[in-house]
Amino acid sequence: MSLRRPSIRRALTATLAACMIGVTGCSSQAGGKTSIDYWLWDANQLPSYAKCIAKFEDKNPDINVRINQLGWSDYWTKLTASFVADSAPDVFTNHLGRYPELVKLGVLQPLDELPELKSIKDTDYEPGLAKLWTGSDGHRYGVPKDYDTVSIMYDKTKLQAAGITDAELASATWNPTDGGSFEKILAKLTVDKNGKRGDQPGFDKSKVKQYGLGVDSQFDYTGQTNWSPFALSTGWYYTNKPTWGTKFNYDDPKFQNSLGWYVGLSKKGYMPRYGQFGQSVTTDQQLASGQVALSLNGSWMLRTYANLTTVKLGISPLPSGPVGHPVSLYNGLGDSISKFSKHKTEAAKLVAFLGSDDCQNIVGTDAVVFPARPAGTAKAIETYRQKGLDVTPFTDRVKKGQTALYPLVYHGSEISSLMQPTLDSVWIGSTPVSALTGVNTKVNAILAEK
């Protein structure tokens, strides 16, 4: 996708004038203070960052920060409109799946060009996080604020009822041929309406009351909380390089065999079918309702799961794959600065503070996410320990180097649009997994575009 800023403006009417998109988006100076805007989408993180910004303003009494929180879909729509209308926030939370396209559009400020952010080092953060925010041109476009990994969330009572111990789940192994001990666990946790388990004679896969594994309503080209832990644990990776790859590997048998096994769980009755719960029923809700026993989910959902009143929550590592250990996709949010901010000095000061121990220790103590800095993560682990939850299945993936970096590529939205219909039809069962070989050729053609 090629989109030039002047042509965007011409395509829109004058009604998209500055500060007319429904939220504040214009930095200003008044009363001796410089006001800047900070946007984020996660309502759960808003209280923690409000505390951080209050502390920042105490340290910088000449700066006023206006916070705006928008839901995920509105966030990106209004952020795009704000760049067009010259009313973009000075600082905003950014996502790895989105920032490459923003770099390509020329709307992000290279942070390493700002004096206030030159001293930031990659080693200040958990391994690999800062690398993800380094563009293909070598410039830094985001300062890490947190990280995501994936683990298994489960209902301990359902494991006990099936005669499975926590230790058995934690030591489960997986392979794409027969699913290993992990598939045996899923079979045992699946129960039909007659009380027959998935590993018992007479099990009716067409009338399942409790599925072994919950599933997202849809999975995309990264498969973060569904198929990725399996494919990645075979030694497969999305592209030909850890970051800024030039070719995708969806034609690799390791990937296709892994995805084939995964969607095959639906055919066996161990996992819900495509569209069974509709678009709105999430995996935490599936677990809470008792309709599933296990769910794969990211660390950003920990607080939601911890607050489930109908579940005796357990957290377990992903199963070990053919590489000999679990592998989680490794994602992380970052704070970016608009290239068109009129107050880049103040914006840079804010970004530096949000990425410092001063802020990240606050976020860690509140334990909404795992902060990007090790000290903040340690505080989050301790907060959850005090609540009776062992969250090391998430943090151990990073500690032990058992992660795969989120695939950074340009044209992400086009690739997603191209992949989605085939991924959906593979899950439905109307298209063989081998069809992804042809799709891979088309994806690589998009990736080759400048």
Is 48 within a domain?
A: yes
Residue at 79 is within a domain: yes
pLDDT for 233: 98
Range 299-304 average pLDDT: 93
Kindly state whether residue 18 falls inside one of the protein's structural domains. no
- Tell me which of 341 and 20 has the higher pLDDT: 341
Q: Where are the alpha helices (DSSP H) in 283-373?
A: 283-288, 302-306, 344-354, 357-366
Asked if the model's pLDDT at residue 9 lies above 80, the reply is: no
How confident is the model at residue 16, as a pLDDT? 31
User: How much is the pLDDT for 449?
Assistant: 82
Task: Provide the strand spans (E) within 101-192.
Answer: 143-144, 146-147, 150-155, 191-192
Do 322 and 177 lie in one domain? The reply is: yes
Q: Give the C-alpha separation, 239 to 409, whole Å.
A: 9
Residue 261 structural domain: 150-329+407-448
Mean predicted confidence (pLDDT) in 298-307: 93
Instruction: Using pLDDT thresholds of 50, 70 and 90, give the confidence band for residue 4.
Output: very low
- In terms of domains, do 155 and 248 share one? yes
Q: What is the pLDDT at residue 60? A: 97
Domains in the chain, number: 2
**In this structure, are residues 225 and 216 in contact, taking their beta carbons and an 8 Å threshold?**
yes
What phi and psi, each to the nearest 5 degrees, are found at residue 409?
Answer: -145, 155
Residue 11 has pLDDT above 70, yes or no: no
Judge residue 79's burial from the number of C-beta atoms within 10 Å of its C-beta, 0-12 exposed, 13-18 middle, 19 or more buried. Answer: buried
What distance in Å separates the CA atoms of residue 17 and residue 85, rounded to the nearest whole number?
5
Average pLDDT value for residue range 29-46: 88
Clarify whether residues 112 and 233 are in a common domain: no
| Residue 415: its H or E element | helix 412-428
Rounded mean pLDDT, 229-237: 98
Q: Is the model's pLDDT at 34 over the cut of 50?
A: yes
Q: Are 181 and 201 contained in the same domain?
A: yes
* Residue 169 near residue 152 (C-beta atoms within 8 A): yes
Radius of gyration of the chain (CA): 23
Q: Which two tokens stand for residue 159?
A: 């494991």
Are 175 and 189 part of one and the same domain?
A: yes
User: Which percentage of the chain shows pLDDT scores above 70?
Assistant: 93
pTM: 0.90
Residue 43's Cβ-count burial label (10 Å; 0-12, 13-18, 19+) is exposed
Overall average pLDDT of the 189-197 stretch: 98
Whether 423 and 297 share a structural domain: yes
Q: Is residue 439 part of a domain?
A: yes
pLDDT in tens, 207-223: 999 999 999 998 999 99
CATH number of the domain encompassing residue 162 = 3.40.190.10
The reply to whether 119 and 187 lie within a common domain is no
pLDDT band at 111 (very low <50, low <70, confident <90, very high): very high
Question: What local confidence, expressed as pLDDT, does residue 25 receive?
Answer: 54
Last residue of a domain, one of 339, 358, 388: 388
Residue 362 phi/psi, 5-degree rounding, is -65, -50
Q: Over 80: is that where the pLDDT of 13 sits?
A: no
- Whether 119 has a pLDDT exceeding 60, the answer reads yes
Q: Are residues 287 and 365 in the same domain?
A: no
Residue 73 maps to a domain: yes
The answer to whether residue 314 is domain-embedded is: yes
- The answer to whether residue 21 is domain-embedded is no
Residue 31 is predicted with a pLDDT of: 64
Same domain (yes/no): 140, 181: no
Residue 218: the pLDDT is 87
Is the pLDDT reported for residue 279 higher than 90?
no
> Looking at the structure, do residues 234 and 89 belong to the same domain, yes or no?
no
The pLDDT of residue 5 is 29
Per-residue pLDDT, averaged over 62-67, amounts to 97
> pLDDT at residue 10 above 80?
no
Quick one: 292 and 416 in the same domain?
yes
Is 162 domain-assigned? yes
Lowest mean pLDDT among 23-27, 384-388, 395-399, 439-443: 23-27
pLDDT at 450: 63
pLDDT category of residue 7 using cuts at 50, 70 and 90? very low
Cα of first residue to Cα of last residue in the chain, in angstroms, is: 9
Question: 1 or 163, which is more confident?
Answer: 163
Closest listed residue to residue 336, CA positions, set 362, 359, 356, 355: 355
Location of structure tokens 């795009």? 80
Residues 122 and 163 in one domain: no
pLDDT band at 319 (very low <50, low <70, confident <90, very high): very high
- Range 216-245 burial, b when 16+ CB lie within 10 A, else e: beebebbbbbbbbbbbbbbebbbbeebbeb
What's the confidence (pLDDT) of residue 370? 96
